[in-house]
């Protein structure tokens, strides 16, 4: 997920990788359209359903700095359960208590579904970031194909409490709600507001852009639910 008005890069745009690159595209979290074709389709290319009852692990930074904080834990769980209002109910069923050795996706097989947080400026700590052309401009991403892990960029200021964050600060629950949508296999959907809650307080969670200082996409709108229901 990138902040507003940054362009999205796909695997292979700035890097030469093998022929399976498309299966490892970090889809995500880049809150801008990866392609106009995907924008018109409700699923990520080759998406597969998340099995019922999938549990999420938390990386050590999230465990040590977020989990003990009630507001932060509520934000993470709120982002997850937002999708329970669709036919994807119960597909994401909470943390399993597993703590990995690193907040970076481990690429072990089978993959561990994990929420991690680290500073993308130090890209040497995470090989998967090599697929992003400018990691410093990415708020968060989902490594959908390899690990199904969500990684949040600590180079940005984050808000975990109730209400909307101040300008320049991004809302954890809003961003994770969007990322969980990608994890469920959903692509971006059109958002005529241009990513502005002021223009449309009911804009879609899976729209292609996000802005600081806003929290209206914590809750799914009718289009988000419709797209999830088409798949689950």
pLDDT of residue 36: 36
pLDDT of residue 30: 42
Alpha carbon distance 4, 163 (integer Å): 21
**How is the beta sheet containing 114-118 ordered, strand by strand?**
92-95, 54-58, 114-118, 149-153, 140-143
Query: Can you tell me whether residue 135 is helix, strand or coil?
Result: helix
Could you read off the pLDDT tens digit of each residue along the chain, which spans 232 residues?
Answer: 544 322 222 222 222 233 233 333 334 334 433 333 333 468 988 888 988 888 888 888 888 888 889 999 999 999 999 999 999 999 988 887 777 767 887 665 555 678 999 898 887 777 777 777 788 888 998 888 777 789 999 999 999 999 999 999 999 999 999 999 999 999 999 999 988 999 999 999 999 988 999 999 999 999 999 999 999 9
Q: Which residues of 141-157 are buried (b: 16+ CB within 10 A; e: fewer)?
A: bbbbbbbbbbbbbbebe
In sequence order, the 6+-apart residues with CB closer than 8 A to the CB of 152 are 115, 116, 117, 118, 139, 140, 158, 172, 175, 176
pLDDT of residue 128: 74
* Tokens coding 121: 């400026």
pLDDT of residue 214: 95
Tokens 């669709």 map to which residue? 86
Tokens 């975990």 map to which residue? 160
Q: Which domains does the chain have, with CATH numbers?
A: 21-231 (3.40.390.10)
pLDDT of residue 108: 59
């Amino acid at each position: 997920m990138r902040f507003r008005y940054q362009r999205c890069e796909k695997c292979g745009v700035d890097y030469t990788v093998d022929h399976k690159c498309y299966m490892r595209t970090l889809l995500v979290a880049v809150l801008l359209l990866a392609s106009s074709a995907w924008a018109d389709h409700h699923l990520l290319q080759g998406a597969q359903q998340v099995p019922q009852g999938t549990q999420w692990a938390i990386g050590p930074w999230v465990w040590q700095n977020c989990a003990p904080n009630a507001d932060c834990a509520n934000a993470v769980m709120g982002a997850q359960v937002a999708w329970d209002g669709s036919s994807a109910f119960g597909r994401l069923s909470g943390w399993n208590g597993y703590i990995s050795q690193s907040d970076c996706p481990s690429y072990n097989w089978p993959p561990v579904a994990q929420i991690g947080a680290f500073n993308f400026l130090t890209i040497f700590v995470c090989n998967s970031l090599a697929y992003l052309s400018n990691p410093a401009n990415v708020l968060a991403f989902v490594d959908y194909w390899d690990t199904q892990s969500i990684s949040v960029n600590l180079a940005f200021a984050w808000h975990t409490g109730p209400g909307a964050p101040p300008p320049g600060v991004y809302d954890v629950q809003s961003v994770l709600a969007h990322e969980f949508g990608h994890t469920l296999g959903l692509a971006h959907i059109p958002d005529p507001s241009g990513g502005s809650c002021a223009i449309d307080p009911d804009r879609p969670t899976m729209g292609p852009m996000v802005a600081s200082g806003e929290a209206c996409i914590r809750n799914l709108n009718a289009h988000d639910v419709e797209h999830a229901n088409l798949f689950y």
